Amino acid sequence: MRGLFAAASVRLVCGVLWLALAAAGARGFETEAMQDFGTGPQRIDVLSTTDIAYMQPVIDAYLVRHPDVTLHYVVASSQEVYRAVAEEEAPFDLVISSAMDLQMKIANDGLARPLPAALMSGQPGWARWRDLLVAVTQEPVVLLLGRDALPPGTPAPTTRRELIDLLRDHPDRFRGKVATYDPAVSGAGYLFAAQDARLSDAFWRLAEVMGRLDAKLYCCSAGMIGDIAEGRMLLGYNVLGSYAPGNDADGLRIVELQDYTLTLLRTALVPERARAPEAGAEFLAFLLSAEGQALVAEGAGLPALDADAFDRNPHLRPIRLDPGLLANLDQITRRRFLEEWRAALIQP
């Protein structure tokens, strides 16, 4: 893997990169960054939650083969990506997002276009939904341990139960030093928490324990990783592993819990309103090809799709890509879940 911060700064020099924190141009949704690649007459508009730096190697390789293409790449938060497609009907040709539930809602609500059969036929059942939605990466959601997280001589926890015991046994050490997502603010955090609650009884106990230790809540994985790397926090629960630097850097340790480790699927779809749907699907096909996947994995450091990983590591659980995800999006269900979460976290 590679350092996130270094990679992010390298690309500032090339192309036209600008930040548009407020509404950019005629758009009603907020974008974070955008960049044009290539100069060809065929334009492809890609909307994504993935930072430009991660996608650069794949886009460069694609443009070598298709010199006639100009690829307009826009980065936005997952909520804004959803708003752009579902509410503003912005004409993008390919939409890539890590928010599986929002992507599923777009597809379920009829706002996605069927993808070519040739593209879908090779995809395993867990990595796609109908011919509308397909996974491009699979990323484990992990426990991240800082350099001094463990008391001397203590082994790293391997299950949620062991994690609970560790936190309970050393309350003074971990007080104010535990980081996790704030599900009320972060879509990904909410998705992980809802999945956790579905898969394990231990989750609510863990939430109580974290609450007792005054856990700090974050909007994003990057913030947690930064604070853990710099020692302000000792331990992060439900960190998106793909964003964390490797095990050697900064003495951080990535732990995949053995009772189960959720695996997030970053998914792609072609919106109904696309101007050049064939071109969008073609770029997606390249992204899913052996070459594209290798570039995603090696060039960008995002884990490529690998069905064998689930056989080799039975603790890995892909988050199910099906309308079950819609249940969690229901506003009242969400409110109720967040109330329960708050009750577990903030005890009288």
Partner 1 sequence: MLLQLLLLAACLSVGLYAAVRLGADRASEATFDAVLGAAAGSLAEEVRVAEGGITVDLPPATFSMLSAMGEERIFYRVDVDGAPVTGYADLPLPEQLPTALAPSFYDANYRDTDVRIAAILRSIRIDGRAAPLLVLLAETRQGQGAIAARLGNRAAVLGLAIFLAAIPFSLYFARSFLSPIDRLAEAVGRRGARDLRPLRHPAPSELQPFVTALNSFIARLRGTLSQTETFLAEAAHHIRTPLTVMRNEAELALRQSGEEETRARLRGLIRAADESARSASQLLDHATVLYRAEQADWAEMDLAKLVRDLVERFRPAAEMRDISVRLEVRGTLPTRADPVLVEAALRNIIDNAVKYSAPDGLVEVMAEAVAGEARVTVMDRGRGLAGVVDQGLKRRFRRGANVSDVPGSGLGLTIVEEAAQAMGGSFAIGPREGGGTCAVFSLPLL
Provide the minimum distance between the beta carbon of 282 and partner 1 in the complex, in angstroms, as a whole number.
24
Q: What is the Cα 26 distance to its own chain's centre?
A: 28
Residues 6+ apart with CB under 8 A from 182: 189, 217, 218, 219
Contacts with partner 1 by CB under 8 A lie at 107-110, 129-130, 194, 198, 320, 322-328, 330-333, 335-337
Provide the minimum distance between the beta carbon of 129 and partner 1 in the complex, in angstroms, as a whole number.
7
Provide the minimum distance between the beta carbon of 230 and partner 1 in the complex, in angstroms, as a whole number.
37
Provide the minimum distance between the beta carbon of 133 and partner 1 in the complex, in angstroms, as a whole number.
10
Q: Which is nearer to partner 1, 46 or 202 (CB)?
A: 202
Q: Identify the DSSP state of 321.
A: -
Provide the minimum distance between the beta carbon of 80 and partner 1 in the complex, in angstroms, as a whole number.
22
Decide: 168 and 302 in contact? Cβ < 8 Å.
no
What the block records as the tokens of 281 is 């699907």
Q: Which is nearer to partner 1, 219 or 338 (CB)?
A: 338
Q: Which is nearer to partner 1, 121 or 331 (CB)?
A: 331
Distance separating alpha carbons of residues 224 and 236, to the nearest angstrom: 7
214: phi then psi, degrees, rounded to nearest 5: 50, 50
Distance separating alpha carbons of residues 238 and 247, to the nearest angstrom: 16
Provide the minimum distance between the beta carbon of 346 and partner 1 in the complex, in angstroms, as a whole number.
17
Distance separating alpha carbons of residues 2 and 313, to the nearest angstrom: 23
Provide the minimum distance between the beta carbon of 108 and partner 1 in the complex, in angstroms, as a whole number.
5
Q: Which is nearer to partner 1, 130 or 170 (CB)?
A: 130
Q: Which is nearer to partner 1, 53 or 319 (CB)?
A: 319
Decide: 146 and 231 in contact? Cβ < 8 Å.
yes
Q: Which is nearer to partner 1, 232 or 336 (CB)?
A: 336
Distance separating alpha carbons of residues 101 and 123, to the nearest angstrom: 19
Distance separating alpha carbons of residues 169 and 172, to the nearest angstrom: 9
316-318 and 178-181 beta bridge pairing = unpaired
C-beta atoms surrounding 24 within 10 Å: 17
Provide the minimum distance between the beta carbon of 322 and partner 1 in the complex, in angstroms, as a whole number.
5
Instruction: Give the containing element (helix H, strand E) for 72.
Output: strand 69-75
What the block records as the tokens of 150 is 């463990």
Question: Does the CA dihedral 118-121-124-125 come out positive or negative?
Answer: positive
State the Rg of the chain over Cα. 20
Q: Which is nearer to partner 1, 166 or 319 (CB)?
A: 319
Provide the minimum distance between the beta carbon of 336 and partner 1 in the complex, in angstroms, as a whole number.
5
Q: Which is nearer to partner 1, 32 or 322 (CB)?
A: 322
3 state SS of 240: strand
C-beta atoms surrounding 185 within 10 Å: 12
Q: Which is nearer to partner 1, 34 or 107 (CB)?
A: 107
